[in-house]
A and B are shown apart, each in its own frame.
Chain A
Amino acid sequence: MSASRFAHLFHFHGGIKPASHKTESNGVPIRAVPLPERLVVPLIQSSRGGARTIVTVGDKVLKGQCIGEAEGKAGTAIHAPTSGTVKEIGRYPMAHPSGLESLAIVIEPDGEERWFEYERLDPEHASREDLILRIQASGIVGMGGATFPSHIKVDNAIDTLILNGAECEPWITCDDRLMRERAADVLTGATLLGRLSGAKRIVVAIEDNKPEAIAAMRAAVRAEELSDKDESEGIEVVPVPARYPQGGEKQLIKVVTGIEVAAGKLATDYGVQCFNVGTAHAVCRALVHGEAMVSRIVTVTGNVERPGNYEVLLGTRVADLLALAGVKPDTDRTLMGGPMMGFTLPSAEAPITKGSNCVIAASPTLFPHRPPEQPCIRCGSCARACPVELQPFELYWHSRAKNFDKAGEYHIFDCIECGCCAFVCPAHIPLVDYFRFAKSEMRAKNEERKAAEQARARFEFRSFRLEREKAEKAARLAAKAAETRAAMAAAQSSEPKADPS
């Protein structure tokens, strides 16, 4: 393998370099979390499809046992995070900015942690279809936060698989620790994903502010080479410059391959696909060890006594995690995800789900509240920072004026909501808030328009049908009348004969 292949990395426009705050949490090994009193597992864990509950209250379940079957092709199965009893199936607050509730299965652990035994697949010999089905059945979704179902992603033929270990958001270190401690599993998962999608090469991209992770992954690749497996041939660990949003899918693809994935296109259209290192790890656990996705690594950091990374069972309450890490008294809100793209949790009662990579206790000192918004002076800082090369201030004018058509013309749907624009704005305008508002309004308007279109078509067809039925009825009546008349005429003409008088 030649190290010179990626000597030349490419560059994406804009981006920012916020203070990284990684050292708070990346110095301590991943820790286990004591079994909580109960686990709340929401039925919807992915961005595409949910699960249908297959257990009833009172059922005994084993760790890793399926409790929610994948609903449809895009669905994602959910599993009991530990062995115990199904206590309740009810509505609980979601880890979502809306604070809405969703249906969840509540499990009371029995403390035995007994695993459910799945039929083992031999990843070396099992068929591609079986492996992909197993990925779906194991409930694996993208663990970088987007939670896109992995079985859909992997079912595409590609040349290059990029293993995303960039972890460009400040404060988050779960991927860093995962690569340091479980590099071999991550690599095995990546090779499996690579084989399933027919990739000829695998690029492990890691931001250069994580030298230990880079070293660990390189050591894993070397070990793989020594064990003389063919797959190690095309694997390379590539340090990429630390610049937010380096880990954005399109940005990373650009930097590693030079390819710009156009709006409305998929990475696979260009023969490239990105997987998060956490996803690769989960694939390894599922296919090699027969473990469904029941836990993930979560960074708990910010205003806490013991920041670090925890191996957290899905369904653990955020509040429990915070208590474990020792949240300090001046904490005024909890962020889920990184400080650039994460959201303020409406309630710390919300459970950890497959996409929850980070929980940050925020205090006014660590995360000052935004100063009041000032008028935009069109300074253009946002346009210089935008990694998608948009003109955020133009989008802002149009979104603010609810001039959505114009916002669309300025490519608002290309916006990845990375937050670079709002980060650099000297007028402290919450630009991303405006864009999210405009986008959700535009989506809703679009839905309304479609519904109206459908209603119009159905109404017109109904009118047409009623007309037709009326016409048919009239025709029928006319025919009948004609028949009767004919019969009467016939009767009349035959009358003389018939009438004896």
Chain B
Amino acid sequence: MSSPHIRRENNSVQRVMAHVLVALVPGIAAYVWQVGAGILVNLAIATLVALAAEAAILALRKRPIAITLTDGSAVVTAWLIALALPSIVPWWLTTIAVLVGIVGAKHLYGGIGQNPFNPAMAAYCTMIVAYPALMSQWPAVGNTDFATQLSLILGGTREIDGLTGATALDAMRTGLRKHEAVSAILANKTAFGAFGGRGWEWIVGGYAVGGLFLLWRRIITWHQPLAFIAGLGLTAALFWVIMPDRFPSPLFHLASGGAMLGAFFIVTDPVTSASTPLGKIIFALGVGIIAWLVRTFGVYPEGVAFGVLLMNIAVPLIDRKTQPSVFGEREEKRP
């Protein structure tokens, strides 16, 4: 062991992960308030499965279990998966999603720090491709009855009208496919609130508050959130200014779906994001643009996850091409 012999106090991976979990609390609180307590059941299932899967695979891989299990990274992945999935998906779907995330996306690539793809987004994309129907059923707005949600999660029948509903992004896409004007679609107030999905505006706001907390605590840097918001917002703004009836506003895009969760909790994942300052900006900008493209032209209502996975592939290249110049490598400076 050589120098340094001192270290920053209270500095650990656990602390980083704990901050992320705390930052998710406002969003989760708003979720419970607006959509119902069912999400808590999903969060619990996801957490348990994630910890069990993590422990099992660490043992299989002959890695020290205690230290990695307690670092909190598996819990963060679990929570992000639970929050990305509809809160009333059956328990087994959550379980599969978490297994895909932890085992498939993380450990098969070498475990924490080595995975090229964001585990939560890899899990989400696998699920939306594998179970498109279940993945499009979100709890109907205003129907926050916990017993109903619990029965759905435990595998109860889903063939009851009014139990599930479309999200704002879904409703918008369906409307646009029928060549309705954006303003006319937004007039339908069962799905839409002031600027995003009805009720979801609060949750999105909660995520944003948590994100600002992470920025303040310097767990994340401004690069990715700002670049993601710019990528999604500016692309949306460009088309919206030209044809406001064919393309929804940037505000609608940013306040809907997983935009805020993505901006502060997904594209900021240090492992799978680019790591140079310029690289972070390029990465998140790309995610934002792809998210808009998928939302606007793709077959899926939400595109953040696809944007993240596509940009994940490009990360090694981005990092290599954006290496900052080292001390003394710049032009000689003289006062």
Q: A interface vs B, CB < 8 Å?
A: 8, 10, 12-13, 16, 18-19, 97, 170, 250, 254, 257-263, 265, 270, 335, 337, 339-344, 362, 367-368, 370-372, 374-380, 383, 387-391, 393-394, 410-411, 414, 417, 419, 422-428, 430, 432-433, 436
Contact = CB atoms under 8 A, between A and B. Distances in A.
B74 to A, nearest CB: 13
Contact of B112 (A337, A371, A377): A377
B16 A377 contact: yes
Given A265-B328, A375-B112, 19 more contacts: A8-B335, A16-B8, A19-B6, A260-B333, A263-B326, A340-B4, A362-B5, A374-B12, A374-B13, A375-B114, A377-B112, A377-B113, A414-B326, A417-B3, A422-B7, A423-B8, A427-B12, A428-B12, A432-B3
B interface majority secondary structure: loop
B332 A423 contact: no
Contact of B1 (A254, A344, A391, A417): A344
B191 to A, nearest CB: 38
Given A388-B327, A422-B7, A432-B2, A375 B111 contact: yes
Interface string B307-335: 00000000000010001111111101111
B2 A426 contact: no
Given A378-B271, A393-B275, A423-B6, A370 B327 contact: no
Interface residues of B, number: 40
A432 B328 CA distance: 21
Contacts of B13: 374, 377, 426-427
9 contacts: A257-B334, A260-B328, A270-B332, A368-B7, A374-B68, A378-B270, A378-B271, A423-B7, A432-B3
Interface of B: 1-8, 11-13, 15-16, 64, 67-68, 71, 73, 111-114, 221, 270-271, 275-276, 319, 323-330, 332-335
Contacts of B275: 378, 380, 383, 391, 393-394
B56 to A, nearest CB: 18
Best-surrounded residue of B2, B319, B332 (most CB of chain A within 10 A): B2
B73 A377 contact: yes
Contact of A367 (B5, B15, B324, B330): B5
A376 B221 CA distance: 18
B2 A430 contact: yes
The interface centre, meaning the residue of B11, B15, B330 with most chain A CB atoms within 10 A of its CB, is B11
Contacts of B114: 375
Q: Which of B4, B7, B330, B332 has the most CB of A within 10 A?
A: B4
Contact of A424 (B8, B276, B323): B8
B71 to A, nearest CB: 6
Nearest to B64: A372
Please name the 3 residue pairs, one residue from A and one from B, whose CB atoms are nearest each other, closest first. Answer: A419-B4, A262-B328, A375-B113
Contacts of B1: 344, 370, 430, 433
Given A341-B3, A377-B16, A432-B2, A391 B276 contact: yes
A250 B328 CA distance: 9
A424 B6 contact: no
B335 A378 contact: no
A340 B5 CA distance: 6
Given A258-B334, A377-B270, A426-B16, A367 B6 contact: yes
A263 B275 CA distance: 24
A430 B4 CA distance: 8
Nearest to A380: B275
Given A258-B333, A258-B335, A342 B73 contact: no
Given A250-B327, A388-B327, A343 B11 contact: no
B182 to A, nearest CB: 40
Tell me what chain A mostly uses at the interface: helix, strand, loop, or mixed: loop
B55 to A, nearest CB: 16
B61 to A, nearest CB: 12
A371 B2 contact: no
Given A259-B334, A260-B332, A419-B3, A388 B326 contact: yes
Contacts of B71: 374
Contact of B2 (A97, A383, A425): A97
A231 to B, nearest CB: 24
Contacts of A341: 3-4
Given A378-B275, A423-B7, A428-B12, A372 B67 contact: yes
A339 B3 contact: yes
A424 B4 contact: no
Contacts of A340: 3-6
A423 B7 CA distance: 4
A389 B67 CA distance: 31
A250 B71 CA distance: 37
B12 A426 contact: yes
Contact of A260 (B3, B68, B324, B327): B327
B6 A170 contact: yes
A426 B3 contact: no
Most chain A Cβ neighbours within 10 Å, of B275, B323, B327, B328? B327
A376 B113 CA distance: 6
Nearest to A384: B221
B271 A343 contact: no
Contact of A342 (B3, B221, B319, B330): B3
A260 B330 contact: yes
B3 A13 contact: no
Contacts of A379: 16, 270
B54 to A, nearest CB: 13
B145 to A, nearest CB: 40
Contacts of B113: 375-378
A394 B333 CA distance: 27
Contacts of B7: 368, 370, 422-423, 425, 428
B274 to A, nearest CB: 10
A414 B4 contact: no
Nearest to A341: B3
A159 to B, nearest CB: 11
A410 B319 CA distance: 12
Contact of A411 (B2, B112, B326, B335): B326
B3 A391 contact: no
A426 B15 contact: yes
A270 B332 CA distance: 10
Nearest to A21: B6
Contacts of A425: 7, 11
Contacts of A97: 2
Contacts of A10: 335
Contacts of B333: 258-260
A494 B4 CA distance: 96
Contacts of A436: 2
A4 B327 CA distance: 27
Contacts of B68: 374-375
Nearest to A270: B332
B328 A263 contact: yes
Contacts of A367: 5-6
A424 B330 contact: no
B23 to A, nearest CB: 15
Given A375-B113, A426-B13, A343 B327 contact: no
Contacts of B112: 375, 377
Contacts of B329: 262-263
Contacts of B8: 16, 18, 423-424
